[in-house]
Amino acid sequence: MKLVVVFKAVTRNWLRSRSGLFFSFLFPVLLLLLLASVSSTPGVPGPAGLGAGYYVASVTAAFVMTNGVIGLTNVGSELRRNGVLKRLSASPLPKFEWLLGNILSQAVLALILAGVMLALGAVLFRAEYLVNFFSIAILVMGTLLFSGLGMTLAGVIKDPETASGVGNAIAFPMMLLSGTFWPISAMPAYLQSVAAVLPLTFFSEGLRDSLVVANFQIALTDLVVVTAFAVAFLLIGTATTKWSEP
Amino acid sequence: MGAPVVRVEGLVKRYGGATALDGVSFEVGKGEVFGLLGPNGAGKTTTVEILEGVRAKTAGVATVLGEDPSDLKRGRSVKRKMGVLPQDFSAFARLTVRENLEFFAGIYDSPVNVPELIGLLKLEEDSQKRFALLSGGSKQRVGVAAALVNDPEIVFLDEPTIGLDPEARRATWKVISDLKDRGKTVVLTTHYMDEAEKLSDRIGILVKGKLAVLGSPAELIGRFGGSKTIVFKNGGDAVFGTLRRFFDGATMEGQDVVLPFENLRDLDVAMGALVGRGLDSDVALRQPTLEEVFLRFAGFRMTESGDAV
Ligand SMILES: Nc1ncnc2c1ncn2[C@@H]1O[C@H](COP(=O)(O)OP(=O)(O)OP(=O)(O)O)[C@@H](O)[C@H]1O
Ligand SMILES: [Mg+2]
């Protein structure tokens, strides 16, 4: 299967890049250790009283987001700049299978990241979760969402440096505003209304509600919103990734 | 010659307002090696990229194996039988040579054996190295290998020997002539006159988006190369001044003095004049080459890197 061939190549190429590895695994793990240690200090209540579980969910969500928005944007524009995409478009490989292989790679990395984070939270901080249909569905949909956004940025912005800058400019504020580090309710009203339209807000909340809080009513709403965002960005990402030059 | 493998007719390409191809027409038959020769910016890459189906044309006809390569469905079936070395080839930076070639093999339905391909392009020593860490010449050979991974019927090679040392260049020439021996069709672009002359059955000289002339190397040299010339190596101004009085056609190329050779009498007259003045110089008889043909149609000479001089 061509899909498997693409998946293997892009995953390897990603994991062998220092920044890929750092952003995919090391950085989120360090951040979780830091945040969860603070929140499990006696007398310091975790956000929303959820302790380490809050951070396991929201840091995982945040890094699935950065992998898509920063990672895929960088890799995509690198491959376009150095002509690999042009070489592929001269082969019978369909654009769709190329994109699917990349998304699949992101999805597997996201599941591994989630597994590592959950294990760390459980072992080090005694966090408890409910791994269920909702949490897996939300994780997968969130991966698709941010892969689509990364594809879109790589497709629309021709210059790789600009693309990488824009990726950072989108990812970091979104990470801060979407309840990764503190609950959204702790922010002033005008920032809350910004958070209310950011896709990471729904992804992060959905993951927390399904994984930690077990509030499936809210998780379902979040799943619907995240899925809608995912479909939109995947369509735009597919349309903006050009398989031939003008 | 049956149906042509490549047919280009009245091909036009505009980038915004700039015209890169202005009505180019040629055909390439099965088993032929066709060389597109031209200076930087002539439109060589634009032509082959349109044929590869990776660039849109503005007007005209461009077919490969009878199909339009830019067509979504039929283009894909043509691409299965097509080998492509793009200009400035690159692959996955952090995969090894072997992993990259296995990737390319994997996207075709019936690829050739990758280790054999590695041997063919003399990439054994590099096969476990990451692509990003290779020398320019090795990268280029990985690109040629990737172009052959599907045992293609028609191969497009955009400057296949750029950046190679003489030995690697000859090895690549051998790969190309072996392709021809196996009945494959090859379209190659180059700045190198000797390469075009040695490998091509027919050559098209592309200048500013127009095909200036088309023909076999021998044909082109015979018709347009001009007469043989007598060259006085490092003759300088003194030799030039002397010969100028006897020959209107005397010219200088750098420090060399060049005379058209019509018959032996010319040589006799020239030698007599130089000896009479006590001047000395190495003398050689020069056959016209593709370079003279190029000069005639382009109006300038071309350096090895394709710049006009
Ligand atoms: N994407 C593009 N946008 C605008 N102009 C372009 C583009 N690609 C090529 N051109 C222009 O079209 C002309 C032909 O370029 P092309 O790359 O086909 O030439 P070439 O013969 O391959 O040159 P070289 O020997 O340098 O590779 C040049 O003037 C070039 O500047
Ligand atoms: Mg070129």
Q: Report pLDDT digits (tens) over B203-226.
A: 999 999 999 999 999 999 999 888
Nearest chain B residue to A16, by CA:
B94
Closest CA to B189 of B24, B68, B300: B24
Q: Which of A6, A89, A97, A102 to mutate to test the interface with B (most CBs of B within 10 A)?
A: A89
Residues 6+ apart with CB under 8 A from B159: B87, B189, B190, B191
Interface of B with A in 60-79 (CB under 8 A): 70, 76-77, 79
Chain A interface includes B81 (CB < 8 A) = no
Residue A131 pLDDT grade (very low, low, confident, very high; cuts 50, 70, 90):
confident
- Res. A225: pLDDT tops 90: yes
Residue B217 CA to residue B224 CA, distance in Å, equals 10
Average pLDDT over residues B189-214: 94
Q: Report pLDDT digits (tens) over A134-156.
A: 899 999 999 999 999 999 999 89
Amino acid at A185: S
Residue B103 CA to residue A60 CA, distance in Å, equals 31
- Res. A44: pLDDT tops 60: no
Residue nearest to atom 8 of ligand 1 (CA): B46
Give the pLDDT score at B201. Answer: 97
> B99 to chain A: which residues are within 8 Å by CB?
9, 12
Average pLDDT over residues B97-121: 96
Average pLDDT over residues A208-213: 90
Chain A interface includes B107 (CB < 8 A) = yes
Give the pLDDT score at A214. Answer: 81
Give the pLDDT score at B265. Answer: 87
- Res. A129: pLDDT tops 90: no
Give the pLDDT score at B81. Answer: 96
Amino acid at A227: T
Give the pLDDT score at B99. Answer: 98
Whether A205 is in a domain gets the answer yes
* Residue A190, domain extent: 2-240
Whether A217 is in a domain gets the answer yes
* Integer Rg of chain B from CA: 23
- Res. B175: pLDDT tops 70: yes
> B84 to chain A: which residues are within 8 Å by CB?
87, 90-91
Give the pLDDT score at A52. Answer: 83
For chain A, the domain total comes to 1
Q: Is B260 in the pocket of ligand 1 (CB under 6 A)?
A: no
Nearest chain A residue to B96, by CA:
A13
Residue B287 pLDDT grade (very low, low, confident, very high; cuts 50, 70, 90):
confident
Find the B225 Cα to ligand 2 centroid distance in Å: 25
Which residue from A12, A88, A92 is facing B95, i.e. has the nearest CB? A12
Give the pLDDT score at B266. Answer: 85
ipTM value, please give it.
Answer: 0.88
Helix H or strand E encompassing B21: strand B18-28
Of B14-23, B134-143, B225-234, which range is least confident? B225-234
Q: Which two tokens stand for residue B242?
A: 């002397």
> B54 to chain A: which residues are within 8 Å by CB?
86, 89-90, 244-245
Q: Which of B103, B142, B148, B154 to mutate to test the interface with A (most CBs of A within 10 A)?
A: B103
Whether A158 is in a domain gets the answer yes
Phi and psi at residue B115, in whole multiples of 5°? -55, -35
Average pLDDT over residues A85-101: 94
Give the pLDDT score at B114. Answer: 97
Residue A30 pLDDT grade (very low, low, confident, very high; cuts 50, 70, 90):
very high
Higher pLDDT, A52 or A28: A28
- Angle among Cα B70, B159, B72 to the nearest 5 degrees reads 10
Nearest chain B residue to A2, by CA:
B107
Residue nearest to atom 6 of ligand 1 (CA): B15
Residue B88 CB coordination number (10 Å): 15
Whether A246 is in a domain gets the answer no
Question: Among residues of chain B, what percentage have pLDDT more than 90?
Answer: 68
Q: Which two tokens stand for residue B308?
A: 């006009």
> B139 to chain A: which residues are within 8 Å by CB?
none
Amino acid at A7: F
Q: Is B19 in the pocket of ligand 1 (CB under 6 A)?
A: no
Average pLDDT, chain A: 90
- Sign, Cα dihedral of A19, A23, A29, A33: positive
Q: Count Cα neighbours of B55 within 13 Å in the Cβ-side half-sphere.
A: 22
- The distance from CA B115 to its chain's CA centroid, rounded to whole angstroms, is 28
- Sign, Cα dihedral of A158, A80, B93, A11: positive
| Angle, helices A73-81/A133-156, rounded to nearest 10 degrees | 40
- Res. A20: pLDDT tops 80: no
Give the pLDDT score at A176. Answer: 95
Residue A43 pLDDT grade (very low, low, confident, very high; cuts 50, 70, 90):
low
Of B16-20, B76-80, B235-239, which range is least confident? B235-239
Average pLDDT over residues B153-160: 97
Task: Tell if the pTM clears 0.95, that is, is over it.
Answer: no
Q: Which residues of A touch B (CB under 8 A)?
A: 2, 4-6, 8-10, 12-13, 16-17, 78-79, 82-84, 86-94, 244-246
